[in-house]
A and B are shown apart, each in its own frame.
Chain A
């Protein structure tokens, strides 16, 4: 097998591979910065909670419309936003903290979703909802993924400073008379949107992988926020490309292949990146001043 056959021909020969690659590139363009900000806000596990929260909405959409994207995506977005909103409200008006409320609501949502699918669908449908199929991405979902990625990047560009302040020093932002909730709510809504974007291609469970693994990897390579976002993009793109290739040549399911490759990047970075174990070991020397 020549290098050309290995690297290029899967994409040049098959339209579905090109589509899958384009979808993954768009997906990681939006997901990577969201993941980085989730990590910086110490909300790494919230992506997970939200991705599970999306399930009952998608299930209801599925019951009404089958595997039609508008139904699945609409239901997913509605359910994700509802859980985020309820958890936010509950933490504001009770003594329970936000992460505990998220845990509570997402578990309820997940159980509800599994119940709905098992009652009105079958296990094949459930598998499809949970793991998606990146090789069956149609025009409509391409449009949705790229639309959500564009919206994410535009919103981040217009709210970057406020978002950083709200995250690093929320009391300062508040003492300037600006409520931080605008940034928080906008950010949570974007997180839900990006998870739903990943949903058709990667499934509800795998979508978080392309969000959090490149982000976690990027923290090990870069020391600034822009650097982290760039590194996360790089890692996301590399994982998408390599994962798709692995899945093509070895006949593996594409979603897990992509996430596993991102996971490999993460594990190697833990060992060898500048902020990883090896970097620490090298940095034991120190300057005189």
Chain B
């Protein structure tokens, strides 16, 4: 009898876990259905592509954020790194002489590599400060938020870097079979993240470090290395997002990306990743990012003032986590 009730309990737990996994997906589907009914323009290819393009930059940042949050960390600096990487790479790809302190323009590939390296370097600094010097992630990355923004403004002398080369702008404006390149890159990043987290040793280490750093350390995992690694990933993806943003608008603004970290954290949290670490999936983050984009798009279509959008997004974040907590209690 006890074996049977054990099994029943196990099944119930499994069911609850699936609910956790697909609850937010159900919410996304429901919102899409409602918008399809409410607005004939919502479910048109053009609008769908539009939503995806809007979701892509926040989505890429949120995937990086997922890595960090899974290890019990947080990265508040991604918004500033977006601007820094954007400005630095743009300065190598501009035809304007005013901002071309480094000469050029250079081929897009070189400019893009430079932006990526800037992002990785910022992430490395974050990681070392957190892992090596035991500074709380909140504080370390808050410092980077301010410092990277300052460096950006100094580097660009407070002015936008305009007149980017066509090759550079292509990554923001080009498309493959009608799918915008930012969306393609978002998809690539997503697939890679799923692969890393679920199928690689590094992924196993991330979940272990976030779930219980002491147990991970005793089990022979190099906790510092893992932590530095996740901040470098978040930094690299922030760099990528920054360049996509610059390429799409055609010039890199030193004021770009302000408060982007908050939307990224929102997508991660809505997607069910626990801020306490060790629990969460990048699929959830994808759905979270899409949900934010769909809701924003829907409210736009229905002509709701953008101020309301912020209120609704706030409610959405809190509601998603409340739902999660309630489910945890019932199991």
Question: Do the two chains belong together in a single complex?
Answer: no
Which B residues form the contact surface with A (CB < 8 A)? none
Which A residues form the contact surface with B (CB < 8 A)? none
